[in-house]
Amino acid sequence: MRIIYLDLDSLRPDHLGCYGYHRNTSPHIDRIAEESVRFTNYYCSDAPCMPSRTALMSGKFGIHNGVVGHGGTAADMRREGASRGFSDRLGRESLPAVLQSIGYKTASISTFAERHSVWTFNAGFNEIFNNGQRGHETAEQVLPVALKWLEDNAGEEKWFLHLNFWDPHTPYRTPEELGNPFANDPMPSWLTEEVFQLHLQKQGQHSIEDMNKLAKSHYYKHPRHGKAIVEHNDLRMIIDNYDCAIRYLDDHIGQVIRKLEELGLWEDTAILISADHGENMGELGIYSEHGTADQGTCRIPMIIRWPNGGLKGAVDDGLHYQLDLAPTLASLLNAPAPNSWDGSSYADSLTSGAPTGRDYLVVSQCAHVCQRSVRFEDWLYIRTFHDGHHGFPKEMLFDLKHDPYEQHNLAEERRDICMRSVYLFNEWHDEMMSTMPHDNDPLWTVMKEGGPLHAREYKTWQE
């Protein structure tokens, strides 16, 4: 079995056609989805970029692997210390290392490890390709490396390729020659004039006011960020630019598909499409950032085309973590799953449609804010320990069935649901703390070291 994992930075599912989006952003991804199982409630356990990918490849929650933020102690993976042998456990227990143990060639085409100085991400990969642009590259700079790798390895029967595109990550850098294919398409219907006026009044990090400042101080080199957001229709700049980035990315995925067809590999290659996190597009009143432990940031796509026995055109609505992928692949490939992994296999959902979802999820964010959230039934409960200069209250509660874009905080009205949420959070936290040799929660390490890195940077910049 050959496997390609398409790691598409900052890609939220509801801006893809296969997830019901009204704009034609993703024709090639949609084609793959027709032959796949599509997961609708799939979440990164730890956000954003560095904690998410560390959890994915280590198979462990951030509270266990130690990486929950982008700076300070909680940006370093926990070491084994005195018990370490000649080689460390990560070199044997990371997802790519486990695949190596059953004869897979593993490769990563990504600048992620250098961008965040998270060299542990590379553990278990035979080959690493880094073009040196630290995540500032666009798809046309990544694609030639990917196509050459596929040509060079077409004769191999067992390989795992991690292929990372950054285009939907802010600032939006889609080449101007693409133009704007969505200029005549309506914006998402929920972003009304009334909603815009409320968001216009919001202050603090990642607000519209803050974005207008960033356009002058940080993003002025990028033509697509040249317009200030003053009127309701100006929101089109954000939505259109994000969607253009997805469309540009999708065009290059189409070229990957064509190369697989040309090499005679398409029919027998598994394709996995996901992201490290999403991108808030108005949720909680913030835009173009992935700085919260909410639906906008933490819900991600997962589309799995599994040629040997996988269902086609199926939908799974169960609750899953991104780190559940490691035990799932281990199950599908008859690989040994380390006891240290926190994930739970959903292989049966892929092969038979059996329900494998969890009763609830707890997701974390400690890079821009310090938040932990509980996702269960139709509810999202957010507990804020450090608001990152966003003005968030201590507790927020949203009914995602009726308020999927998190505009109406029901925490005061539904204390009963808040109490249920706290119970579930405590249940999870007790289990996490009782199943590791350390007695410190890295969220509190972040708090004691001065708060989230990007919140500290924001405060310095404001001053």
Which pLDDT tens digit goes with each residue over 31-80? 999 999 999 999 999 999 999 999 999 999 999 999 999 999 999 999 88
Q: Counting beta carbons within 10 angstroms of the beta carbon of residue 263, is it exposed (0 to 12), middle (13 to 18) or buried (19 or more)?
A: middle
Enumerate residue ranges in the chain where pLDDT < 70: 463
Per-residue model confidence (pLDDT) at position 463: 62
Q: Tell me, what's the pLDDT at 416?
A: 98
At residue 184, the pLDDT reads: 96
Q: Indicate the angle between helix axes 193-201 and 208-217, nearest 10 degrees.
A: 70
HSE value, Cβ hemisphere, 13 Å, CA-based, for 105: 13
Exposed/middle/buried for 388, CB within 10 Å: 0-12, 13-18, 19+?
buried
User: Could you read off the pLDDT of 386-408 as tens digits, one per residue?
Assistant: 999 999 999 999 999 999 999 99
Q: Say which DSSP state 358 is in.
A: B
Residue closest to 453 by CA, chosen among 33, 72, 85: 72
Angle of CA points 328, 249, 172, to nearest 5°: 115
Residue 361: predicted pLDDT: 99
- Assigned token pair, 274: 């996901």
Instruction: Answer for the pair 10, 168: CB distance below 8 angstroms, yes or no.
Output: yes
Domains along the sequence of the chain with CATH: 2-462 (3.40.720.10)
Question: Taking the mean position of all CA atoms in its chain, how far away is CA 270?
Answer: 20
DSSP string of 239-253? Answer: HHHHHHHHHHHHHHH
Do the Cβ atoms of 12 and 43 come closer than 8 Å?
no
- Grouping H, G, I as helix, E, B as strand and the rest as coil, residue 178 is helix
Say what the pLDDT of residue 226 is. Answer: 83
For residue 304, give the DSSP letter.
Answer: E
Six-digit token string for 5: 């994992």
- The owner of tokens 């991804």 is 29
What per-residue confidence (pLDDT) applies to 34? 98
Measured CA to CA, the distance from residue 370 to residue 384 in angstroms comes to 6
- pTM of the entire predicted model: 0.97
